[in-house]
Structure 1
Amino acid sequence: MAPKVLVILTSHGKLGDTGKETGWFLPEFAHPYDELVAAGFEVTTASPAGGAAPLDPNSIEMYKEDKSSVAFLNSKKALWEQTARLADFVGKADEFDAVFVPGGHGPMFDLAVDPVSQQLIAEFAAKGKVVAAVCHGPAAFVNVKLPGSGEHLLKGKKVTGFSNAEEEKMKLTQAMPFLLEDKLNEASGGGFVKADEPWGAKVVVDGKVITGQNPASAKGVGEAIVKAVKGG
């Protein structure tokens, strides 16, 4: 049987009170998708609201020269325009090998506080499944508590995500409901790590928890998911 991954996309399309659009970030789904499909994975998409998950228009423009992103944009629209509802997957972690959350600023506003998303990720972790996210995707982890023990998913783990310096360079610090680096560092007990320079690739694997720092890390997160599920 082909390995299966559940991809959780944001349903949030507004960037705080800036009046700008946001959502999920194109290469952060496209690049891992290429790695997963090449390795024979089946990909299922879900979002809190179901239906169309908003794609950050800035990511389309920024990656218009990126072959992987353009091909994904042009041929895989059903993946994000026809997502299932997250609630439909509660109690079904055994049907998948991994859960993956692409970034974009959207997850900072909905997945970080969505109780169904938190429950799903906790279920995957409790079942020993791979739990992965990239860039702002780890926002979905910041409030996840494990069933039974009630311990934080990230307690004692090394973790990464979009850094404070990168947020500042994008001039979006004030638009965020919280700073992801700070929350991840707090949740892990000081385990946040990052690349030597902003925008540098950084993938962190700690047990079954896989995180990537930024768009440059997306391909590596896909590769890490494949390795963690298939071994080798």
Structure 2
Amino acid sequence: MKKIALLAMAIALFSSCNNSTKEHKTAKKVSTNIKNNIQMKKVLFVLTSHEDLGNTGHKTGFWIEEFAAPYYLLKDHGIAITVASPKGGQPPIDPKSNEADFQTPATVRFNKDKETQEILSKTLKLVDINHNDYDAVFYPGGHGPLWDLAEDNNSITLIEDFYKNNKPVAAVCHAPAIFKHTKNQEGAPLVSGKKVTGFTNGEEEAVQLTNIVPFLVEDMLKDNGGIYSKKEDWASYAVEDGLLITGQNPASSELVAEILLKRLK
């Protein structure tokens, strides 16, 4: 009888341990699934392919800080990032953004990061991008977008597709130039009645390019009905209105990414 009791206790203990193990495995699986769901979020970065600064003979392109800071912030939080540009391949880097005065922890990290440099050298062509593959789109600035992305039909269609499918569209500094021709589903400018910001007229004047750029970002956003706001020149400032997230200048790039990250989670 004693042996039977001991056997029953052993069976009960084994069953308890087995159930505990199963529960642990189930909890671990749920935790892993939650983590994977966060990591599965995908953001498309779109960079300019334009390198000529008007007729000045100088070069432009995208501003490294405005790519690197958002890129690393999102990547470090488990977001998968794909990079595209109108022409594909290596997008032009604004040479001024490589100067010592404009270095930040993000640009220093980028300059040592061969893996990301390799990714950047092989951007996908914008014409081959489908919004269905991504959860949001981010446009870094630099003066280049004023010439190509503002007028690029593939970019315009892509932005409108993201927006009408309830996906965030983020842009910083000169990149809000992408809203020059974009429309909402009613046919009005996409920024009409929306709170937005972007590179200020004062900041453009400070870099002495007011008469070189094809248009001023601040003026264009206002002309398209955007509710434009700004802080003092070169201050960090970002605005979120529905699906639109915009930043004023290079100092605002990480702030825009932080807002986007909150939306994705």
Equivalence map 1:39-118=2 (5 Å):
39-62=77-100, 65-75=103-113, 76-89=116-129, 92-118=130-156
Q: Write the distance in 2 (CA, Å) between the matches of 1:192 and 1:62.
A: 32
32-41 vs 17-26, greater mean Cα deviation: 32-41
Q: Write the distance in 1 (CA, Å) between the matches of 2:101 and 2:177.
A: 23
Partner of 2:201: 164
- The DSSP-based 3-state class of the residue aligned with 1:139 is helix
Normalised to the residue count of structure 1, the TM-score between the two structures is 0.94
Q: Which segments of 5 or more consecutive residues in structure 1 lack a partner in the other structure?
A: none
User: What count of residue pairs does the alignment treat as equivalent?
Assistant: 225
TM superposition outliers: structure 1 runs of 4+ over 2 Å: 62-65
TM-aligned CA deviation for residue 80 of structure 1 = 2.2
Equivalence map 1:1-232=2 (5 Å):
1=37, 2-62=40-100, 65-75=103-113, 76-89=116-129, 92-146=130-184, 148-187=185-224, 189-195=225-231, 197-230=232-265
Would you say the 8 A contact 2:52–2:60 is kept in 1?
yes
TM-aligned CA deviation for residue 202 of structure 1 = 0.7
Larger CA Rg, structure 1 vs 2: 2
What percent identity do the matched residue pairs reach? Answer: 47
Q: Write the distance in 1 (CA, Å) between the matches of 2:46 and 2:64.
A: 14
TM-aligned CA deviation for residue 28 of structure 1 = 0.3
TM-aligned CA deviation for residue 166 of structure 1 = 0.1
Q: Which segments of 5 or more consecutive residues in structure 2 lack a partner in the other structure?
A: 1-36
